[in-house]
C-alpha cells in the first residue's frame, strides 16, 4: 500500500494541512496530575489520650502527611507511602478512606484538589526520608489549632473536621477491636526500608 493509499484510507490527502497538536504547558499537566491526593491521618493512644501526628509543609504550616495519588498504587498504599516518607511511620493503615475534603489552591484559577483521608494507627516511628518535615504529636484540640494556623477559616475548619471524624472512627474501632481485622480492611507498614511497593497485608521491603 502506498503512502497516498494510506492517507486516503484515513480521509486526508497530502495537500491537506495537518492539524498542529495543542501545546499544554508542563505546569498545567502537573496541576491535572495533582487533582486527587491522599492523606494519612496518623494517631496513637498514649496515657489514655489520642494524639495525632502532623508534619510541616515547605511553607512551615502544619498538615497531615499527604501527597498525590500514585499510579499503580491504591489510595491507601499511596497514603502509607506518604506517611513513611514524610513522618517515618510504621503502623496499620485502613484500606478505605473514612473522610474526604477539598484542598483549595491559591488564586482564582487554582484547581480544587480532592483529598482522600485514610486512618493509620502508628506502631513506631523511624527517621523519615524527608528530613525537613519535623513530625510532631499533638492532642486533638492542639492539633486542630495547628491545622487552622495561617489558613483561610473555611479550609482550617475542614481540616479540623477531619480530625473529629478520625476521633469518632478510632473510638468505634476500639470498642470493637476485632471488626476491622476480620474484614481484612487493614494492612501493615512495618518494614519500609524500600518504599517503591506497598501492598495490602504485606510488609514494605
> How far, in Å, CA of 73 to CA of 52, rounded?
25
* Residue 9 CB-half CA count within 13 A: 6
Give domain status of residue 89, yes or no. yes
> How far, in Å, CA of 56 to CA of 63, rounded?
6
- pLDDT tens figures, 121-168: 999 999 999 989 999 999 999 999 999 999 999 999 999 999 999 999
Beta-bridge partner residues of 139: 51
> How far, in Å, CA of 157 to CA of 155, rounded?
5
**What is the predicted pLDDT for the residue at 57?**
93
The alpha carbon torsion through 45, 50, 51, 52 (nearest 10 deg) reads: 100
- pLDDT tens figures, 29-44: 445 454 789 999 999 9
Give domain status of residue 15, yes or no. no
CATH number of the domain residue 126 falls in: 3.90.79.10
Give domain status of residue 54, yes or no. yes
Give domain status of residue 107, yes or no. yes
Give domain status of residue 93, yes or no. yes
> How far, in Å, CA of 36 to CA of 143, rounded?
24
Please tell me the total count of domains within the chain: 1
Give domain status of residue 197, yes or no. no
Give domain status of residue 8, yes or no. no
Give domain status of residue 101, yes or no. yes
Length of the chain: 205
Report pTM.
0.72
Instruction: Supply the range of the domain harboring residue 170.
Output: 22-189
CA-closest candidate to residue 116, choices 134, 104, 101: 101
Measured at the alpha carbon of residue 138, what is the angle toward residues 137 and 144, in degrees to the nearest 5?
A: 135
- pLDDT over threshold 80, residue 170: yes
Amino acid at each position: 500500500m502506498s503512502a497516498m493509499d494510506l492517507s486516503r484510507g484515513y480521509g486526508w490527502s497530502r495537500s491537506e494541512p495537518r492539524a498542529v497538536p495543542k501545546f499544554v504547558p508542563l505546569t498545567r499537566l502537573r496541576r491535572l496530575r495533582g487533582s486527587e491526593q491522599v492523606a494519612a491521618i496518623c494517631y496513637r493512644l498514649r496515657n489514655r489520650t489520642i494524639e495525632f501526628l502532623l508534619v510541616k509543609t515547605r511553607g512551615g504550616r502544619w498538615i497531615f502527611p499527604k501527597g498525590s495519588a500514585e499510579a499503580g498504587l491504591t489510595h491507601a498504599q499511596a497514603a502509607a507511602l506518604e506517611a513513611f516518607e514524610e513522618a517515618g511511620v510504621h503502623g496499620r493503615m485502613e484500606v478505605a478512606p473514612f473522610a474526604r475534603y477539598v484542598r483549595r489552591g491559591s488564586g482564582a484559577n487554582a484547581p480544587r484538589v480532592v483529598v482522600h483521608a485514610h486512618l493509620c494507627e502508628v506502631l513506631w516511628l523511624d527517621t523519615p526520608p524527608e528530613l525537613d518535615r519535623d513530625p510532631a504529636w499533638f492532642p486533638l484540640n492542639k492539633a486542630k489549632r495547628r491545622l487552622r494556623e495561617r489558613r483561610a477559616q473555611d479550609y482550617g475548619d475542614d481540616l479540623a473536621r477531619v480530625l473529629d471524624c478520625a476521633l469518632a472512627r478510632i473510638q468505634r474501632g476500639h470498642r470493637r477491636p476485632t471488626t476491622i481485622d476480620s474484614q481484612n480492611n487493614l494492612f501493615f507498614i512495618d518494614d519500609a526500608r524500600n518504599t517503591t511497593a506497598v501492598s495490602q497485608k504485606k510488609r514494605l521491603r
